Structures are given as C-alpha cells and as structure tokens.
Amino acid sequence: NAGVTQTPKFRILKIGQSMTLQCTQDMNHNYMYWYRQDPGMGLKLIYYSVGAGITDKGEVPNGYNVSRSTTEDFPLRLELAAPSQTSVYFCASRYRGQALNSPLHFGNGTRLTVT
Amino acid sequence: DQQVKQNSPSLSVQEGRISILNCDYTNSMFDYFLWYKKYPAEGPTFLISISSIKDKNEDGRFTVFLNKSAKHLSLHIVPSQPGDSAVYFCAATPGGSQGNLIFGKGTKLSVKP
C-alpha cells in the first residue's frame, strides 16, 4: 500500500523556470492538500481539493496553480519560480465521510530550491 | 499572527522519563486538535487527536490533554523512548470547515538513552 507518493524528492530551479510537483494517492481519498514548510516554521496550506474537478485556495496560494482531474492525482504547478518558493512541499490526503474529522496522510515531501 | 503556537522549539528528555509538549491556540472556533510526528526526510504522521468535547484522550504511551478555558493542550509521552525523538507538530481545525489544519511551528524532542 503506497499511500501518498510525491515526485520528485528534490529539485533545483532557476528563477523564472516552471515545474510541476506530482502527487498521487491510492487510498481513494476524496480530499487532497498541498502544504509548504519553510525552515523553522509550521506547515502552511497552499491549495486543497474536496474532489475531482474542485479546488480551492489555502493560506498561501500566490505563485501556484493546481488541478484535480482524477481522484488519485493532485499536481502542483509553479509557473515562474522565485527564491521565496524555496521550501519543502508536502502533499496530503484524507477521506472525509460521515466522520468530519479524519487525520491527514502525508507524502514524504519534495525539497525545492530556487536560485 | 499565529493561531497555533508551540513556544518551545526543542525539548530534551531522558529515556524512561515523561515528555510534555505544549501547544496554545487563539481561535475559539477550533474544535478538533491533532498531534503529528515528523522524522527527518519524511512526511508528518498522525499521532493522536482530541475533540473539544473531551479533555483527555489516551493511546498507549501517548496522552493528549485539552484545557479549553486556557486554550491550551499538551501531549504527554510516558515512558519516553529514543525512537520518540522527532519533531512534533500541534494542529487545529475549526468545526464545520473543510478540515483544513492550522499547524504550529513544531517542537523537536530529543530522548537521550
């Protein structure tokens, strides 16, 4: 059972380049999330999705885009990379059914450096 | 402004003793609280949670206490083991939301043999 899989694990970008961080889950979870964690800080929500075709902004969405065409996949797109986007990015998912609160399952993260 | 605060960046404890990690929150709308544990180069993993209708939840060596009037929760680990050495994040969510979690900055626990 793979859970939440993120690729790549590491990436170095030059300023202005673009890239897509991939996230896929095999748990049939309806909710998916993207967080970023800066050094010494907590995780901040970038975007989330409550199901295929539905996405919404979190706390820090500027500079990012997402799409959710399938239940399994939730890619995060950086269009014009900036040094401020140097961070560790975590994808997470959970199943929200009758139990309103269920814990998030996280991937192992993508460490991105923009220089 | 931080809605979830973990004021101790680090904590060092001897193996076998109790570890107490603290968390304060400011938003009175939060009604569900979780603790996550994170090892280096891995994603956070869920540890234990508590609803605001309770003041204590226990799972093996881990107990979370909630003091709503003080807007304070704590995680107790008894007895502490070297494998517990990790960063612990406190998180909270307001009721009726999409369950979006607000995280604290984390506390790095070191359990010394």
Residues 68-107 of A with CB under 8 A from B: 90, 92, 94, 96, 100-107
The answer to whether the CB atoms of B43 and A4 lie below 8 A apart is yes
Q: Where are the beta strands (DSSP E) in B41-100?
A: 45-51, 56-59, 62-67, 72-77, 86-94
Q: Which residues of chain B have pLDDT under 50?
A: none
Residue A10, pLDDT > 90, answer yes
Supply the pLDDT for residue A19. Answer: 96
Nearest to B24 by CA among B76, B93, B71, B87: B71
Q: What domain range includes position B81?
A: 4-112
3-state helix, strand, coil in chain B (%, to 5): 5, 55, 40
Q: Residue B12 sits in a domain of what CATH number?
A: 2.60.40.10
Strands A110-114 and A10-13: parallel
Q: At B102, list the tokens.
A: 């607000």
- The verdict on A56 touching B (C-beta cutoff 8 Å) is yes
Is the CB of residue A49 less than 8 Å from the CB of residue A31? yes
Q: Do residues B64 and B50 lie in contact, with contact meaning Cβ atoms separated by under 8 Å?
A: yes
Q: Which of residues 55-84 of B touch A (CB under 8 A)?
A: none
A39-84 per-position pLDDT tens digit = 888 899 999 999 999 999 999 999 999 999 999 999 999 989 999 9
CB contact under 8 A, A103 and B34: yes
Domain count, chain B: 1
Shortest Cα–Cα distance, A32 to chain B (Å): 10
State whether A106 and B4 contact (CB < 8 Å): no
B106–A contact, CB cutoff 8 A:
yes
Q: Are A5 and A106 in contact (CB under 8 A)?
A: no
Residue A115 pLDDT > 60: yes
Which among A96, A106, A107 is the nearest to B99, CB-wise? Answer: A96
Predicted local distance difference test score (pLDDT) of residue A102? 79
CB A94 to CB B103 under 8 A?
no
R_g over Cα of chain B: 13
Half-sphere exposure of A77 (CA within 13 A, CB side): 6
What is the pLDDT at residue B100?
Answer: 81
- Chain A residues whose CB is inside 8 A of the B41 CB are 108-109
Q: What percentage of chain A exceeds 90 in pLDDT?
A: 84
Q: Is the CB of B43 inside 8 Å of chain A's CB atoms?
A: yes
pLDDT at A40: 85
Pick among 3.90.1200.10, 2.60.40.10, 1.20.1540.10, 2.60.40.650: CATH of A4-114: 2.60.40.10
Bridge partners of A21, per DSSP, are A76
pLDDT (tens digit per residue) in A100-109: 667 889 999 9
Nearest residue in chain B measured CA to CA from A40: B105
